[in-house]
Amino acid sequence: MTITKADIERCKAAAKTDVYQFYKWSKWLRLREEVLRMDKYECQKCKAMHRYSPAQTVHHVYEFRKYPKYGLSIYVENENGVKVRNLVSLCNRCHNAEHERFKNHSNMIKKVMNEERWD
């Protein structure tokens, strides 16, 4: 699949306004299918732990809102110039765990901040 400059602009615009514009987009839906097929519809996190779970979703390792330019990239080059997977097939459980990690982190910060209030 070729990604044009216009596609990247569209990703950036969606990330700024309405991310669902991206997730409804036919180009994303086709790519999502391609990733699932590539991973044989198997959760890659479970697979790494020698477990089998059917994949239900395709996750952006580089969070879409923060890195919209990678929205349609299966692979990206990391800071060290190493090609890594950006789009990975996950089961719902692993997908939630990936997102909870961030949520818990910010909840924790909020909690600490609240506890340090004097009033």
Residue 63: which region, alpha, beta or left (left: phi > 0; alpha: psi -120 to 50)?
Answer: beta
Residues 9-31 as b or e (16 or more Cβ within 10 Å = b): ebbeebbeeeeeebeebebbeeb
Rounded CA-CA distance 50/43 in Å is: 10
- For position 59 contacting Zn ion by CB under 5 A, the verdict is yes
- For position 43 contacting Zn ion by CB under 5 A, the verdict is yes
Stretch that binds Zn ion, among 14-22, 31-39, 54-62, 81-89 (CB under 5 A): 54-62
- For position 10 contacting Zn ion by CB under 5 A, the verdict is no
Which residues inside 76-95 make contact with Zn ion, applying CB under 5 A?
Answer: 91, 94
Considering only residues 14, 25, 39, 45, which one is a binding residue for Zn ion as defined by CB under 5 A? 45
Which residues contact Zn ion by CB under 5 A? Answer: 43, 45-46, 53, 59, 91, 94
